[in-house]
Amino acid sequence: MGIKGQEGNCILLLKAFGISLFFLSALGIRMGLIVYGMYQDQKFNVRYTDIDYDVYNDASRYLVNGESPYRRATYRYTPLLAEILIPDILLNEQFGKILFSIFDIIIACIQFNLLRQTNSFIMSLLYTAIWAFNPMSIVISTRGNAEAVVCLFVILTFYFLYKRKIWLCSLFFGLSIHMKIYPVLYSLPLFFCLSNFYPSKSFFTKERLIAVFGTAFVLIGLTGYYYYRYGFEFLWETYLYHGTRTDHRHNLSVYWYYLSLSFDFPKSTIRSLISFLPQIFCLIAIGFRYCKKDIIFCCYLMTCIFVAFNKVYTMQYFIWWFVLLPFVVPKIIEGALHHIFLTIFIILQYIASYGIWLYYGYELEFKGKNSMFNIFIAGIIVFIANIILIIWHIYVYSLSDSLRKQKQLKLN
């Protein structure tokens, strides 16, 4: 073997070591926090474990006893989640947290695999770190929130789309919608973007039909099975309830104050529809603008818009678009660096808006102060900050695209 061959092997070994260290470190941080969480739960009044994790476990316990998971009040998820977490009851109550953390790392591995196709080794790791070492994704999974499950299914949808395995893409897309309703937003963009992967003059191509039938097969199959087992209660708690959900606590939404004041009054269908109109208009506009140009950027923007305009907006919702952020950063980095001071300002105003909301939320929740109007104003600030961030994304994406085209012209 020549010197060049030996150097090549050394580089491969270093890369393998670097990848292993990267992912093991991300997993190690999560495992450490799970252990710490057990300590905090025992020693402090404020628990580390998310209350939702207790809800999941109670539902799983009912399943083990041969009963409906919906006997647990506030369990408003698919029975599939309770089934996945049965080992919490039979083996160890930390199983779910460990599983969600492993899902986080699997997501990061898939992100790295896709990023590596268009980026260098080092840059792919840096972009993947946005998810793997993100404090939000780490804390949410280690506290026992199940968002990593739907995020994994969403990422697998895009992975198999880019690998041109449409059956698998559609199956995981169906699973993601079954777990949470929000991925249904991606339906039309995914349908139309298939023409980029499989050009054809026909509208109903073989690939589009496979995608539709594959997704429908999973959704109808799982929905039919659980409806047979649990009846209308399954449909209501898993899906229909979320259309009428109006949380008046722990809600970052711009509609929070209105929901709080009208909580005890009869619900108005007209007012509910009116509140959805801006959201629907923006989603349709972004969907048609970017679905064929850049499917991941399109779905990323749609998720940001959906979260910002939603009547219910909690911290867990960040994860829905964070999981796509590693794919978006490479597309906007040039434009963002071109206006570095504007970029820093946008990021700081975004973080500050949540700081203001959390401050007044803390006053209301823990100090008992009447800060409701202040939270209302903070909610408006958060909403404006989100809109500014979305507009900034669109601007720097277009700028980055223009800068890349200019470079190509100079090279040619």
Phi, psi of 302 (to 5 degrees): -65, -40
More confident residue, 4 or 39: 39
- Flag whether pLDDT at 213 surpasses 90: yes
Mean pLDDT computed over every residue of the chain: 89
d(CA 362, CA 176): 33
Q: Count of alpha carbons within 13 Å of 117, Cβ hemisphere only?
A: 8
d(CA 235, CA 239): 6
- Flag whether pLDDT at 35 surpasses 70: yes
371 three-state secondary structure: coil
324 Cβ contact partners less than 8 Å away, ≥ 6 residues apart? 154, 296, 299, 300, 303
- Confidence band for 240, pLDDT divided at 50, 70 and 90: confident
Alpha helices (runs of H) in 185-324, residue ranges in sequence order: 187-197, 206-230, 232-235, 241-244, 256-261, 269-290, 295-309, 318-322
- Flag whether pLDDT at 7 surpasses 70: no
Range from 187-191, 204-208, 270-274, 387-391 carrying the lowest mean pLDDT: 270-274
More confident residue, 255 or 24: 24
- Confidence band for 262, pLDDT divided at 50, 70 and 90: low
Q: What is the pTM of this model?
A: 0.92
- Flag whether pLDDT at 406 surpasses 90: no
What is the reported pLDDT for 63?
96
Contact between residue 226 and residue 79 where contact means Cβ atoms under 8 Å apart:
yes
Q: Could you tell me which of 160, 146, 82, 120 has the C-alpha nearest to residue 316?
A: 146
Q: Enter the tokens of residue 65.
A: 């006893």
Residue-range domain boundaries for the chain: 146-244, 247-412
Percent of the chain at pLDDT exceeding 90? 67
Phi, psi of 267 (to 5 degrees): -75, 140
What is the reported pLDDT for 125?
95
d(CA 51, CA 246): 19
Q: What is the pLDDT of residues 56-71, one digit of tens each?
A: 999 999 999 999 999 9
Q: What is the pLDDT of residues 77-127, one digit of tens each?
A: 999 999 999 999 999 999 999 999 999 999 999 999 999 999 999 999 999
Q: What is the pLDDT of residues 329-362, one digit of tens each?
A: 999 999 999 999 999 999 999 999 999 998 888 8
163 three-state secondary structure: coil
- Flag whether pLDDT at 168 surpasses 70: yes
d(CA 397, CA 332): 5
- Confidence band for 15, pLDDT divided at 50, 70 and 90: confident
Residue 175 burial (10 A CB sphere; 0-12, 13-18, 19+): buried
Q: Enter the tokens of residue 353.
A: 């808006």
- Flag whether pLDDT at 310 surpasses 90: no
Q: Enter the tokens of residue 13.
A: 């070994």
